[in-house]
Amino acid sequence: MHPVVRSPVNAEAVAVLHRAARPLLDELPLLTDRMVALLRKEEPAYRAASVDQDELWQEVHRSLRHNVGSLLRPKELREAARRCSWQIGAERAEQGLPLDALLRAFRLGGAVVWQALVDRVTQRDPDGVRLLVHVAAEVWDFVDEHCAVVAEAYRQTERRLTWRHENRRRLMAEALLEGTMRVADLPEVSEALGLPERGRYAVVVVSGAGREAHRAAVRSRVPSGLRVLWHSRPDADLGIVLLAGAPRDGAPGDSHGGDPHTGDGGSRDALAELAAALPALPGTRTGIGSAVDGLAAVGDARRLAETALRSAAPGGEPVLLDEHLPAALLVSSPDLASALAERVLGPVLRLESADRDLLLDTLTAWLECDGSARRAGGRLFCHRNTVLNRLRRFEQLTGRSLGRPHEVAELSLALTARRVLRPSIRTAV
């Protein structure tokens, strides 16, 4: 909305332009009224309730003042006119006015000023109209220049606002996951993140060098009915999962998710579905914690997910905490778990690696086959008697009987401890 003559033109044409422009300075209020009325008629965005009409009038008046002044003193006012256009572009971006509407307004402003010039020359100096044509290109070039200034100011402000918005959301998500969010701030966080305060939540943690591939693969795999808000840290990606069926009306708050066998079966099913959908990619480990009640308990959900993560194998299937509670107990107390494995399996762990692995694999297969030597033999490609012979040797080395349920439970826990804490457990003399 700020045309100005920027290059040498016919001196007589410039004189005609100046004679027409000077009186417009005194007519700026009328010109502003005309421009505002035209804007409200032609651009629906300027009729919106969010556009303050008094501010609009002042904005148009300021713009037109620079517009007309630039016709008379282009070198002196060029930068001031650019600053005015930049400010308008930035302010309208902050208010959310569409950029297309803003650019049309600037071109409309140029047209209003140009028409006022033509009308005045036609009325007062008809012969000067043919001279006025010589400055038309310069005037419209300047309008285009200021449209470019407005657009750049708008886009820079929009990028800054987007970054500020995303950074604010990131800080909110981090505070939720750390459990440091103030209760008084939860309504604001709920609105900003689109997560209900009383929802039913769990957290997913993905770590490892393959996280980038996991990000690319996971977006389309989240089951319908679940929403995952992902948050990246330097060492892991965390997803805040809003479970289907949340919130549970009338349910008491339970920051630890309650008994998985008597509590929210819908949440357990949703988590199982999520675990089945997430990819198992080389270089990544994935842990999914138990469900918790309420946005305020997301920090607890994150700690539960990290416990599940410590039970996960690199490149293996996602570990759902509720389905691996013995392993979770062991990784939660690694010193005791390591002592258990050493005490129960020590004589076997000190065998040569081939002999050690043969006995441990046999016991693992036997336990997974519910104590059936025949089925374990089929899995290990050997005869059932071979399985029984290996198990007897295992009993002799450890001094434990596979016929005593409590000793079988102890052996099973020791095997689990060795699997989840293998790097810290001595496996040979």
- Ranges of each domain in the chain: 11-162, 197-331, 333-424
- Please give the pLDDT value at position 8: 47
What is the rounded CA–CA span in Å between residue 61 and residue 113?
Answer: 12
Whole-number Cα distances in Å, 237 to 58, 192, 207, 331, 356: 49, 20, 6, 21, 37
Residue owning tokens 């691996």: 324
How would you class 314 by CB atoms within 10 Å of its CB: exposed for 0-12, middle for 13-18, buried for 19 or more?
middle
Domains 197-331 and 333-424 share a fold: no
- Residues 153 and 131: their CA atoms lie apart, in Å, by 35
Q: What is the pLDDT of residue 422?
A: 64
Supply the pTM of this predicted model.
Answer: 0.65
C-alpha–C-alpha distance, residues 320 and 201, integer Å: 14
Q: What is the DSSP letter of 180?
A: -
The answer to whether 195 and 229 have CB atoms below 8 angstroms apart is yes
> What is the C-alpha to C-alpha distance for residues 341 and 330, in angstroms, rounded to an integer?
10
Cβ 308 vs Cβ 289: under 8 Å: yes
Q: What are phi and psi of 394, to 5 degrees?
A: -60, -45
Averages of pLDDT over runs of 10 residues in the chain (429 residues) are: 49 85 90 93 89 93 90 87 95 94 93 89 82 82 91 96 94 95 94 93 91 78 84 93 59 39 65 87 89 94 92 84 83 82 89 91 91 92 93 91 88 84 50
Residue listed under structure tokens 């140009």: 114
Residue range 333-424 forms a domain whose CATH class is mainly alpha
pLDDT at 410: 85
Q: Any idea what DSSP says for residue 156?
A: H
| Rounded distance between C-alpha atoms, residue 368 and residue 362, angstroms | 10
CATH of 197-331, one of 2.60.420, 3.30.70, 3.30.2320, 3.30.300: 3.30.70
CA pair distance 419, 425, nearest whole angstrom:
9
Residue whose entry in the numeric block shows the structure tokens 């657009």: 151
Q: Give the CATH number of domain 11-162.
A: 1.10.490
Contact indicator for 124, 62 with CB cutoff of 8 Å:
no
**Structure confidence at residue 296 (pLDDT):** 94
What distances in angstroms separate CA 17 from CA 6, 7, 76, 140, one per listed residue? 13, 14, 17, 14
